[in-house]
Chains A and B, each alone.
Chain A
Amino acid sequence: MSATTLGPRPLAPSSGQLVAVGFSTALLAAGAVGFQPAEAWAGVLTAGLYGVTLSLGGALFLAIQIVAGARWWFPLRNVPLRLARTLPVPLVAVGLALVFGLTTLYPWARPDASALVHAKHAWLNPPLFLARAVVLAVVWLALIGLLSRALRAMVAQPSAEGRRRLVRAALVFLPLFALSISVAAWDWGMSLEPEWFSTMYSVLLFAGTFQGGIAAVTVLALLLDRQGRLAAPLGDAARHDLGKLLFAFSTFWAYVWFCQYLLIWYSNIPEETGHYVTRFGDGWGALFWLTPLLCFVFPFVAQISQPAKRDAGSLYRAALVVLLGRWLDTYLLVAPSQGPVPAVPLGALAATVAVLAGMRLLWERDADAGH
């Protein structure tokens, strides 16, 4: 990677700067709540969901490499681990949105919900909804704690027993992750439009989580590699593997994204089309069609050749574009249910900066602790 692409500046600004950024954006978000509660809470939920998917995507990356017995990722093993350990920050944002934005964001939580929505009361009622969110958070944090302890023990003192424990932790994580991300998708995303339903919805969030995790790990690994802060320098082969993962799972995301669209487009039943009608109108259309360009077309075309996957600069750009696309996709999951497109999505941007800054604080704390 040439010096001009990334610049020579070190990754870590002072914690004080980060706190300032976080505080000011939180203030901004709080201000927005007063004016436009729906837009503001949608922004906080977007930011939280974005952070949760990136962080869980890191954990998923980790668990899959462990179960597969892969060794190529050892130089960058700290990256998915630290990424997974930033999960508490976005969980707090999601929690805030769910607790304080519940009636603003979710029509089923309002007394004037339609009869169609009321029929789903057994699943969609505030106490059970919030309890499920707590269970999800506890399960994720516990599993990531388990993975992280097992991996660190294994790195500190490799042993056959330690390896078995690590693989077992990853094997517990994987199925529970698939289940829990589906519940999160139904609860936090799909129930924003409670009359609408799609069986592909949770698969789509799963695919997005995987894609986002790979992109985030790639960007962070390349940045740290440039500064020589990885356990070992990344070789051509390791970059090639990251590039292949990014390429493959961008395609997988597009496959699932199109599957949901195609099924609904084909049958063209009003109870199913609402989701897309919302996203084609009120100015959302351009953003909606931009998402597959960022999440699929760009990484697919830019990363199709082997040299492009091995080139740090090209790989970095593609992963960064995917990360942008992931944000847009998450935003479009949430915001269109709350009204027409805002001129500037101030609430969502502010909340995202705050969440990412907070995640970075946790990351730096981990790095300072020498992990």
Chain B
Amino acid sequence: MAHTEARAPERGRVHMLVFDAPETTVGAVRRLRGEGFEVAEVYSPFPIHGIDDAMALRPTRIALATLIGGLCGGIGKLVFQGWVHVIDWPMDIGGKPDTALPALVPVTFELTVLIAAFATLGTLFLRRRLFPRLVPASAPSQPHPRVTDDRFAVLVVERDGSFAPDRFRTLCQALRPLELVEDWRVA
């Protein structure tokens, strides 16, 4: 799912356009934004090439979390293994020296990957507030039952008085969505 700044439309109405191909979806988002309409969110069954550019999303910084997590995991595990094998509990394993580095590589590698993955996922959960709750903070927002399968939904929000309904309808006719739901509401 294309992740955006999920802005719950505080005021104004939301309109949903549904498409059946990633290319037409990207094209529609470009046209809509080009004509001054605000695209609040795009739902898709898989990541679409170029949608972040079309929606003018800020580049994600989650890679930084991955890098920091990976470095912490790798260095931490290397230091820990060094402490175990050299200081705390030296053992003769096959006549190898206590500081035999190759033996430490597999676990260091695994921990690098593991902590990098945890850091990425944890950061995603934190930033998107996706932690499980007892009471849902908001209703599950899936605007169309098939956006997890083969449909692409574009949500356009009426933020203020500059929204021109006539121009919007004309544009929608040109964009030819499979469905156009005006004033869509969370069911």
Q: Residues of A with Cβ closer than 8 Å to B?
A: 72, 235, 237, 255, 258, 261-262, 265-268, 304-306
23 pairs of residues in contact across A and B, judged by CB atoms under 8 Å: A72-B49, A235-B50, A237-B49, A237-B50, A255-B109, A258-B102, A258-B105, A261-B102, A262-B102, A262-B103, A262-B105, A262-B106, A265-B102, A266-B94, A266-B102, A266-B103, A267-B94, A268-B94, A268-B95, A304-B67, A305-B63, A306-B59, A306-B63
Per DSSP, chain A at the interface is: helix
For A255, list chain B residues within 8 Å (CB): 109
Give the residue name and chain of the B residue nearest to A240 (CB): B49
Give the residue name and chain of the A residue nearest to B49 (CB): A237
For A266, list chain B residues within 8 Å (CB): 94, 102-103
CA distance A304 to B112 in the complex (A): 14
CA distance A20 to B95 in the complex (A): 57
Interface residue count on the B side (C-beta < 8 Å): 12
For A305, list chain B residues within 8 Å (CB): 63
CA distance A308 to B103 in the complex (A): 32
CA distance A262 to B100 in the complex (A): 11
For B109, list chain A residues within 8 Å (CB): 255
CA distance A360 to B183 in the complex (A): 61
For A262, list chain B residues within 8 Å (CB): 102-103, 105-106
Q: Tell me the minimal C-beta distance from B103 to chain A in angstroms.
A: 7
Would you give the 0/1 interface string for B82-102, flagging 1 where the beta carbon is closer than 8 Å to chain A? 000000000000110000001
By Cβ-Cβ distance, the 10 closest A-B pairs, closest first, are: A237-B49, A265-B102, A262-B102, A237-B50, A306-B63, A268-B94, A258-B105, A72-B49, A262-B105, A266-B94
Q: Tell me the minimal C-beta distance from B125 to chain A in angstroms.
A: 22
Q: Tell me the minimal C-beta distance from A242 to chain B in angstroms.
A: 13
Q: Tell me the minimal C-beta distance from B116 to chain A in angstroms.
A: 11
CA distance A319 to B73 in the complex (A): 28
Would you give the 0/1 interface string for B116-153, flagging 1 where the beta carbon is closer than 8 Å to chain A? 00000000000000000000000000000000000000
For B105, list chain A residues within 8 Å (CB): 258, 262
Would you give the 0/1 interface string for B30-62, flagging 1 where the beta carbon is closer than 8 Å to chain A? 000000000000000000011000000001000
For A258, list chain B residues within 8 Å (CB): 102, 105
For B59, list chain A residues within 8 Å (CB): 306
